[in-house]
């Protein structure tokens, strides 16, 4: 389950998991737990993906279906998920949620409305998570300014 922050990946993953008797693995919760434990933002992201796969494989070994609820920012994540499913004889489905480019205000409203956002989550479309590194924050702000100029 993949997509832009705030689109409803977790809500969709949890609803789907309850309908198909699957386990939903929440990347944001895992990453936030690592951040709360003092792991850096960049390391927490990589470690959270590794833990996603540990939990997914454990569930698969128990005969359960799995939904990994994560942004899937890197092609290797999709490749690893596919390889894990194939290795255990599971079918692999990739679901990516998309925002309507003409209605980004709706996405921003959803992000602002998050109740008790996790440390790994954005709270606005034009913001980065609070634990993002100064370099990432600077790059993001520069990108936002360039988008407004052109």
Instruction: Tell me the pTM.
Output: 0.77
pLDDT tens for residues 18-52?
999 999 999 999 999 999 999 988 899 889 999 99
Helix, strand, coil proportions of the chain in percent (round to 5)?
55, 10, 35
Q: Which helix (H) or strand (E) holds 68?
A: strand 65-69
CATH number of the domain encompassing residue 74: 3.40.50.300
The answer to whether residues 9 and 26 touch, using CB atoms and an 8 Å cutoff, is: no
Structural domain count, the chain: 1
The answer to whether residues 96 and 80 touch, using CB atoms and an 8 Å cutoff, is: no
**Domain coverage including residue 35:** 2-149
pLDDT tens for residues 125-148?
666 666 665 555 555 555 555 556
């Amino acid at each position: 389950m993949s997509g832009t922050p705030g689109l409803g990946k977790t809500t969709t993953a949890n609803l789907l998991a309850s309908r198909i008797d699957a386990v939903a693995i929440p990347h944001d919760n895992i990453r936030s737990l690592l951040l709360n434990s003092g792991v850096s933002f960049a390391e927490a992201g990589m470690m959270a993906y590794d833990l996603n796969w540990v939990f997914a494989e454990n569930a698969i070994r128990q005969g359960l279906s799995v939904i990994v609820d994560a942004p899937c920012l890197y092609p290797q994540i999709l490749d690893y998920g596919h390889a894990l499913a194939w290795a255990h004889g599971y079918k692999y489905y990739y679901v990516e949620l998309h925002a309507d480019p003409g209605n980004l205000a709706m996405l921003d409203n959803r992000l602002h409305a998050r109740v008790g956002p996790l440390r790994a989550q954005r709270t606005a479309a034009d913001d980065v998570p609070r634990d993002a590194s100064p370099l990432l924050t600077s790059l993001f702000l520069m990108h936002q300014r360039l988008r407004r100029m052109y």
